[in-house]
Structure 1
């Protein structure tokens, strides 16, 4: 049995998977915000609940909103800031009495979709999260690719490429860069653009509903979003040339994106042709927690 935990800023979820990927157990609890020791206790409680319910002991993988530094072994770059600087893997292993594999949550998303999702059977999967924020993970041969410094896939930290004069230098982002993919290609940025243009605050679903009715302002905001996301994905195509691009997060539910993005990407791709598919995540909101469980691959113990 494989156990996976998705450690989010507001909730923690555990899933237990059989060797065939069948869900045996799942449970969510609120994340003890700003309470590191409370979070460790919550993880231990989730593992205990899963193993009590199934009567089995499992391997454990954990997806976190950050990464472990290869230099120090401590958590870095987490927006759940109380994790930063903590020896999370050592602390969890000591508390649970077993090895624990920890990965960035976007990498877990990529592993899930590469294992038995929209990228199954593909050697190189670039999985993009376009939700409240915007980030990505990379799976190579079904395994998470963290990179030499633990920052592979930190695509959201880059400024949207090929900025137009009207866009330059772009809005501020919490990561300290202007015009970052993290902001402009997120649902948050999409909604902020609409409010700036119209003076009206709407959520993404409401803006898309107006766009589908032909509303000019909503249509303009959608076109700008597609252009920016298309340029960001073209950069991925030129650098990584993945076998598939998988989209997750709330904005990935906009069906028109899959029709409109290839044309937005095309002018910026350094190739005479490009037919890499762009697919919606097969496992949806469950992909991250499933990927954490799959950090222990087939045949591993």
Structure 2
């Protein structure tokens, strides 16, 4: 059995996995974000409470995991700068597999979601941020850590759309023009305010667009224009058989379908079927992806 953890800033979700497709959530515990000893203590409690002693531990965690297993986690200060895999293995006495949440999401879609049967799967997050993960032939391209899949960052967002000039929006990564700043849920809200002089939440903007409201239509048209080109470029680079979309904005099937149409019109290969589709693993993809990675590691595969 592999004990799986989905580490968030507020809570740690746990699950027991006896196979990649047999993952049973077992609960959640508060995240001790500022005290590493307390953090390890919470994990030890979960290990002790498992129905059988686990053979390994698999973690999904927000942030970037580098090649040394060092995680950069903005909302859990006690983990910053630590060689986390090494420290957790020493503290818990079990093998540890660690990947970020976007990679685990992509892995979940590849093994049990929209990406099943495809050689290359790009898992895209469109929610509070814009992120992603890449699975090639059943394994993460980031098998040993890294930042591949972070397509939301880089100064690529268009600022001139016909006669409309969009503002230069700074991103949390300290660049200007990132898709994360313009096309995330918060970015959609910034676009709406700039184009229409109206403040509204992303969910309401999408609902109004679906209902045919003109102001929301302007916002979504701009959002699709800014996002479709870069995603088509990523498609040309990676050659995915499917792009599975998760995050809050993926809850609108109509929005994902419109993005699919925009991307397929712009990418090099002409698809006669949907390419950009809603993710199918809507419940606990972090735990499912962590379990899949754990079993690959136990089998000696990256």
TM-score interval for Structure 1 and Structure 2 normalised by the shorter chain:
0.7 to 0.9
Aligned residues: 295
Contact 1:2–1:294 under 8 Å retained in 2: no
Aligned partner of residue 190 in structure 1, secondary structure: helix
Distance 1:215-1:114 versus aligned 2 partners, 3 A rule:
same
Equivalent in the alignment of 1:36: 36
* 4+ long deviations beyond 6 Å: none
Contact 2:206–2:255 under 8 Å retained in 1: no
Q: Render the CA deviation track for 1:217-250: whole Å, top value 9, x for unaligned.
A: 1111111112222123112111111111000010
Distance 1:25-1:256 versus aligned 2 partners, 3 A rule:
closer
Residue 112 of structure 2 is aligned to residue 103 of structure 1: no
Equivalent in the alignment of 1:230: 228
Give 5+ residue unaligned stretches, structure 1: none
Aligned partner of residue 202 in structure 1, secondary structure: coil
Aligned partner of residue 33 in structure 1, secondary structure: coil
Query: How do residues 1-301 of structure 1 correspond to structure 2 at under 5 angstroms?
Result: 1-19=1-19, 21-49=21-49, 51=50, 54-70=51-67, 72-76=68-72, 78-80=73-75, 82=77, 83-146=79-142, 150-161=146-157, 163-164=159-160, 166-167=164-165, 170-271=168-269, 273-275=270-272, 277-297=275-295, 300=299
Deviation at 1:214, TM superposition (A): 2.1
What is the TM-score of this pair, normalised by structure 2? 0.88
Distance 1:202-1:26 versus aligned 2 partners, 3 A rule:
farther
Deviation at 1:118, TM superposition (A): 1.1
Q: Distance in 1 between matches of 2:119 and 2:33?
A: 37
Q: Distance in 2 between matches of 1:133 and 1:47?
A: 32
Deviation at 1:81, TM superposition (A): 5.7
Distance 1:288-1:202 versus aligned 2 partners, 3 A rule:
same
Contact 2:65–2:99 under 8 Å retained in 1: yes
What is the TM-score of this pair, normalised by structure 1? 0.88
Q: Render the CA deviation track for 1:101-125: whole Å, top value 9, x for unaligned.
A: 1112111111111111111121111
Give 5+ residue unaligned stretches, structure 2: none
> Larger deviation: 163-172 or 54-63?
163-172
Q: Render the CA deviation track for 1:29-58: whole Å, top value 9, x for unaligned.
A: 232233333322222323333x1xx23424
Contact 1:2–1:293 under 8 Å retained in 2: yes
Contact 2:257–2:277 under 8 Å retained in 1: no
Q: Distance in 2 between matches of 1:62 and 1:114?
A: 17
Distance 1:17-1:81 versus aligned 2 partners, 3 A rule:
closer
Deviation at 1:131, TM superposition (A): 1.0
Q: Distance in 1 between matches of 2:55 and 2:25?
A: 12
Contact 2:59–2:96 under 8 Å retained in 1: yes
Q: Render the CA deviation track for 1:48-80: whole Å, top value 9, x for unaligned.
A: 33x1xx23424211112223322x55324x333
